[in-house]
Chain A
Amino acid sequence: MPTTRTGPHPVAVGAVLLLVAMIAAALWNSDASGTGARNVGSTEAAPAPAPAPAPGAAPPGATCAPTVTNPGGRNNYDDDAPLDVPLGRGLVITGLVRDTACRPLPGVPVQVWLQTALGSERENRTTVLTGPDGRYRVDTDPAVAQFGEPNVHVAHDVRGPWRAVFQRHVVDSEDTLAVVDLTLVPSS
């Protein structure tokens, strides 16, 4: 008796209600900036370089959780980053690179790439080495929104004693400092 029905079929109504509930749940359970991405920016001044720590500076018995590559961390990655090229000024991207015993790791290559007003995320990159205190530092123009939000990529991407990790985190466009620490695990 389809001709006597005046309202929409109950199955259609139920299907749309179910769909709305599923979409709401999927949005509620999503991360605003993507899974595993956190806001690492601030408007603080960049920390001054610390003096080289004494050997075994980490407290005995300390453990640091290994950094895990997060989704999107490899976006627009290129293994051919030039060493120590200036990316501008206004934003300092820095962080402490340690092993899982929390000991700073000097001389470890770290690649940083991001979108700024002058260069896209695919061309704007450099690799720097950590200093004696285990910190790396990249001076760059401020990050600009790319795919809806300013974001920075930090990676240890070179084959060597430490396993590669790739990070994608977000900042605000007015931020002057972004801190991304890495805890590396041996590659073997």
Chain B
Amino acid sequence: MSAVRVVGAAAALGGAFLVVLALAGPHLAGAPALLVVSTLAACVAVAALAVQPWLTRRRVGVHVRVGGIVAVLVALHVVALFVEDPDDALFSMSPDGPTRSRMALFATVLLVAVTLLGVLRRRLRWSPATWRFLHGSLAALVVVLGVGHAVLIQGALDGWGTVVLLVLGGLGVVGAVWRLVVVLRRAPRTTDPPPTR
């Protein structure tokens, strides 16, 4: 069984655990539907982010599709909170918001940047090393800030949820750093092969 399959299975299990924990716990019982949707979208997004760097080795096509899914899930997470409670959502995004919200805000902006880097890869015409460094290091920051935000949030994912969040975040960060080190230490090459899809 390849590493990517092991990580994929672990991430799927972790994501499923977070979803079950959120739905079974008291925090979302009787909560508005939008809040439930927002929380579940975030649970799935964390699991998907954990597996993302591990897909860059041989499964770039899957990586691109999962990246699109993460972007949609995070957008859903933010928009649902905004519609449910605009006052608190705007306060959280303001410079006066709590640390956890500031982490989320930075993570979201960086995720947009990482996604745009992915979409514009060919048009940017940057060297493969530069593009990979930017895409990978910013993506690692997204995972650190996004998971940090989720850990600091009190609510549906406390207790064992925190442990699973940290494991998923660890998978994502370790994967991103490992891939960055591997691709940047490669033997000097005048041109990299085009990305395989």
Which residues on A are within 8 Å of B, measured CB to CB?
2-9, 12-13, 16, 19-20, 23, 26-27, 30-37, 71-72, 74-77, 117-118, 120-122, 144-150, 173
- Chain B, residues 87-120, CB within 8 Å of chain A (1/0): the string is 1110110111111111100100000000000000
User: What's the Cα separation between A35 and B189 when bound, in Å?
Assistant: 51
User: What's the Cα separation between A20 and B26 when bound, in Å?
Assistant: 37
- Taking a contact as CB atoms closer than 8 A, the residue among A3, A32, A37, A117 that contacts B191 in the complex is A3
Q: Do B134 and A8 have beta carbons less than 8 Å apart?
A: yes
CB neighbours of B129 from chain A (8 A): 5-9
Q: Do B106 and A16 have beta carbons less than 8 Å apart?
A: no
Shortest C-beta distance, B108 to chain A (Å), equals 13
User: 20 more A-B contacts (CB under 8 A) besides A3-B190, A122-B85, A150-B154?
Assistant: A5-B127, A8-B127, A9-B130, A12-B130, A16-B137, A19-B138, A23-B141, A30-B98, A30-B102, A32-B100, A34-B96, A75-B91, A76-B87, A117-B30, A120-B85, A145-B154, A147-B88, A147-B101, A148-B101, A148-B154
CB neighbours of B145 from chain A (8 A): 23
Interface contact tally, CB-CB below 8 A: 112
Q: Name the prevailing secondary structure of the A interface residues.
A: loop
Q: Do A6 and B106 have beta carbons less than 8 Å apart?
A: no
CB neighbours of A23 from chain B (8 A): 106, 141, 145
Q: Do A32 and B106 have beta carbons less than 8 Å apart?
A: no
Q: For the complex, is B32 an interface residue (Cβ under 8 Å from A)? A: yes
- Taking a contact as CB atoms closer than 8 A, the residue among A13, A26, A32, A150 that contacts B98 in the complex is A32
A2-B127, A4-B190, A75-B88 known; A149-B154 Cβ under 8 A: yes
A9-B127, A34-B96, A34-B98 known; A145-B155 Cβ under 8 A: yes
Number of B interface residues in the complex (CB < 8 A): 43
Q: For the complex, is B193 an interface residue (Cβ under 8 Å from A)? A: no
Q: For the complex, is B27 an interface residue (Cβ under 8 Å from A)? A: yes
Q: For the complex, is B6 an interface residue (Cβ under 8 Å from A)? A: no
Q: Nearest residue in A to B29 (C-beta to C-beta)? A: A117
A12-B134, A16-B138 known; A147-B85 Cβ under 8 A: yes
Q: Nearest residue in B to A32 (C-beta to C-beta)? A: B99
User: What's the Cα separation between A37 and B106 when bound, in Å?
Assistant: 21
A147-B101, A148-B101 known; A71-B94 Cβ under 8 A: yes
- Taking a contact as CB atoms closer than 8 A, the residue among B30, B87, B100, B184 that contacts A75 in the complex is B87
- Taking a contact as CB atoms closer than 8 A, the residue among A9, A19, A36 that contacts B96 in the complex is A36
A26-B102, A122-B85, A147-B101 known; A8-B154 Cβ under 8 A: no
Shortest C-beta distance, B7 to chain A (Å), equals 25
Shortest C-beta distance, A141 to chain B (Å), equals 12
User: What's the Cα separation between A49 and B41 when bound, in Å?
Assistant: 48
Q: Do B103 and A27 have beta carbons less than 8 Å apart?
A: yes
Q: Nearest residue in A to B87 (C-beta to C-beta)? A: A75
User: What's the Cα separation between A77 and B96 when bound, in Å?
Assistant: 18
User: What's the Cα separation between A172 and B133 when bound, in Å?
Assistant: 42
Question: Max chain A CB contacts within 10 Å: which of B129, B186, B189?
Answer: B129
- Taking a contact as CB atoms closer than 8 A, the residue among A19, A74, A122, A145 that contacts B27 in the complex is A145
Question: Max chain A CB contacts within 10 Å: which of B27, B32, B186?
Answer: B27
Q: Nearest residue in A to B145 (C-beta to C-beta)? A: A23
User: What's the Cα separation between A76 and B91 when bound, in Å?
Assistant: 11
CB neighbours of A150 from chain B (8 A): 154
